[in-house]
């Protein structure tokens, strides 16, 4: 290696330092980028490869969880282990937005209240959701009061605050805001479940809309106009034809057919559509929904699976 003089060494050190700074800045930027992690893409149907409905939007080291289906904490922990996204480490799960109070979206709420606390979270879980959410949360605390008492008063070293909840009942319109996100609730069209929301997240680098459970819904279509990422539920048209009259009536008024969703994205033109909470019946393969939508639109479509990550 050639001898390097004092001045040249200073210049090289300066360039090296600059490179290191850029690297650090680059790392920061990577972390600042909004990522969407599918924690659970399932429905009430207990398919072992699909946990209950739950999505994480991670911005600047904070995880915003949308819905708390079965397995939400374990999937978050799995995502942390597999990807290194620190915000999804169980003790860092501090906030959840509930789209509605159907059990397939809330069975993991007790888990989200208690497990991160047992793992070390000191702050109460912030819960944002429609009317009825306060009763759900307070009754869960009542149901687990003996567990909480034992952990706080027993020999287990346990902080005395992290089991609490900070419940915020929201209505259509502004739902939440902080340095990372602005969140709007949009009333979905989920049959008789009037208080069912889609949530629209605006972050420094993305606009993301999560449908929750809904049939085709004009308000959601309007909110989806030009978003970067649309996560939307869907069912297969072919599968729908296998249903009896009662279930056909239920699904057509509570959930969205692949063809209706294709129409929605053709008009709203999101940057990409991610299917989640996919409903399929009988012998119709799950990917049928994807095929049905892709045949009708040029908008990029993904068939979401648990632990998929989108940017
Ligand atoms: Zn559902
Ligand atoms: Zn529902």
**Poorest-pLDDT segment among 57-66, 107-116, 149-158, 296-305:** 149-158
Element (H, E) at 216: none
Q: How far is the CA of 187 from the centre of ligand 2 (A)?
A: 13
| Coil, helix or strand at residue 279 | strand
Distance CA 81, CA 173 (A): 35
Global pTM reads 0.89
Ranges of each domain in the chain: 34-310
Residues contacting 238, CB < 8 A, separation 6+: 284, 288, 292
Q: How far is the CA of 262 from the centre of ligand 1 (A)?
A: 20
Q: State the fold for domain 34-310.
A: Metallo-beta-lactamase; Chain A (3.60.15)
Read off the pLDDT of residues 275-308 as tens digits, 9 standing for 90 and up: 999 998 888 888 899 999 999 999 999 999 999 9
Q: How far is the CA of 280 from the centre of ligand 1 (A)?
A: 13
β-bridge mates for residue 63, sequence order: 58
Smallest CA-to-CA distance from 72 within 95, 287, 128 is with: 95
Task: Spell out the long-range contacts of 151-157 with Cβ–Cβ below 8 A and sequence spacing 24 or more.
Answer: 151/118
Q: How far is the CA of 69 from the centre of ligand 1 (A)?
A: 9
Q: How far is the CA of 122 from the centre of ligand 1 (A)?
A: 30
Read off the pLDDT of residues 232-247 as tens digits, 9 standing for 90 and up: 999 999 999 999 999 9
Q: How far is the CA of 202 from the centre of ligand 1 (A)?
A: 24
Q: Using CB atoms within 10 Å of the CB of residue 201, give its burial: 0 to 12 exposed, 13 to 18 middle, 19+ buried.
A: buried
| Coil, helix or strand at residue 127 | strand
Element (H, E) at 245: helix 245-254
pLDDT interval class at 7 (50, 70, 90): low
What tokens does 244 get? 């009896």
What is the model's pLDDT at position 280?
A: 84
Asked if residue 92 has pLDDT above 60, the reply is yes
Which ligand ends up closest to the CA of 191? 2
Q: Are 125 and 166 in contact (CB under 8 A)?
A: yes
Q: How far is the CA of 274 from the centre of ligand 1 (A)?
A: 16
Q: How far is the CA of 96 from the centre of ligand 2 (A)?
A: 17
* Chain mean pLDDT for the chain: 91
Smallest CA-to-CA distance from 163 within 207, 115, 211 is with: 115
Smallest CA-to-CA distance from 69 within 99, 37, 30, 32 is with: 99
Residues contacting 20, CB < 8 A, separation 6+: none
CB atoms inside a 10 Å sphere around CB 228: 18
Asked if residue 3 has pLDDT above 50, the reply is no
- For β-strands 182-187 and 301-303, DSSP reports them as unpaired
Read off the pLDDT of residues 193-225 as tens digits, 9 standing for 90 and up: 999 999 999 999 999 999 999 999 999 999 999
Which ligand ends up closest to the CA of 44? 1
**Poorest-pLDDT segment among 8-22, 106-120, 123-137, 207-221:** 8-22
Smallest CA-to-CA distance from 211 within 223, 195, 225, 194 is with: 223
What is the model's pLDDT at position 311?
A: 92
Q: How far is the CA of 102 from the centre of ligand 2 (A)?
A: 5
Q: How far is the CA of 145 from the centre of ligand 2 (A)?
A: 28
Q: How far is the CA of 233 from the centre of ligand 1 (A)?
A: 9
What tokens does 299 get? 């908008």
Q: What is the dihedral of CA 217, 174, 126, 207, to 10 degrees?
A: 70
Asked if residue 60 has pLDDT above 90, the reply is yes
Q: How far is the CA of 17 from the centre of ligand 2 (A)?
A: 54
What tokens does 267 get? 């008009």
Smallest CA-to-CA distance from 130 within 162, 94, 99 is with: 99
What tokens does 150 get? 């034992």
Q: Across residues 152-171, what is the average pLDDT? A: 94
What is the model's pLDDT at position 28?
A: 41
Q: How far is the CA of 250 from the centre of ligand 2 (A)?
A: 11
Q: How far is the CA of 298 from the centre of ligand 1 (A)?
A: 27
β-bridge mates for residue 97, sequence order: 66, 128
pLDDT interval class at 9 (50, 70, 90): very low
Which ligand ends up closest to the CA of 278? 1
């Amino acid at each position: 290696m050639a001898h390097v003089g004092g001045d040249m060494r200073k210049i090289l050190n300066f360039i090296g330092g600059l490179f290191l700074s850029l690297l650090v800045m680059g790392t920061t930027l990577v972390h600042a980028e909004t990522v969407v992690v599918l924690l659970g893409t399932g429905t009430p149907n207990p398919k072992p490869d699909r946990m209950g409905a739950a999505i994480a939007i991670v911005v600047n080291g904070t995880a915003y969880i949308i819905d708390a289906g079965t397995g939400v904490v374990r999937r978050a922990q799995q995502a942390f282990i597999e990807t290194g996204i620190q915000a999804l480490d169980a003790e860092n799960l501090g906030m959840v937005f509930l789209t509605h109070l159907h059990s397939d979206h809330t069975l993991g709420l007790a888990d989200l209240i208690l497990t991160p606390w047992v793992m070390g979270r000191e702050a109460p879980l912030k819960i944002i959701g429609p009317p009825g959410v306060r009763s759900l949360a307070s009754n869960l605390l009542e149901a687990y009061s003996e567990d909480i008492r034992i952990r706080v008063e027993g020999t287990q070293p346990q902080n005395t605050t992290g089991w609490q909840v900070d419940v915020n009942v929201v209505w259509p319109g502004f739902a939440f805001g902080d340095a990372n996100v602005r969140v709007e609730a949009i009333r979905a069209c989920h049959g008789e479940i009037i208080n069912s929301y889609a949530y629209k997240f605006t972050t420094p680098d993305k606009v993301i809309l999560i449908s929750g459970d809904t049939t085709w819904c004009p308000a959601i279509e309007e909110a989806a106009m030009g978003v970067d990422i649309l996560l939307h539920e869907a069912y297969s048209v072919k599968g729908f034809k296998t249903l009896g009259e009662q279930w056909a009536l239920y699904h057509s008024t509570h959930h969205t057919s692949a063809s209706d969703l294709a129409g929605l994205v053709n008009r709203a033109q999101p940057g990409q559509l991610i299917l989640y909470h996919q409903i399929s019946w009988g012998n119709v393969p799950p990917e049928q929904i994807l095929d049905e939508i892709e045949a009708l639109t040029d908008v990029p479509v993904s068939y979401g699976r648990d632990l998929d990550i989108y940017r």
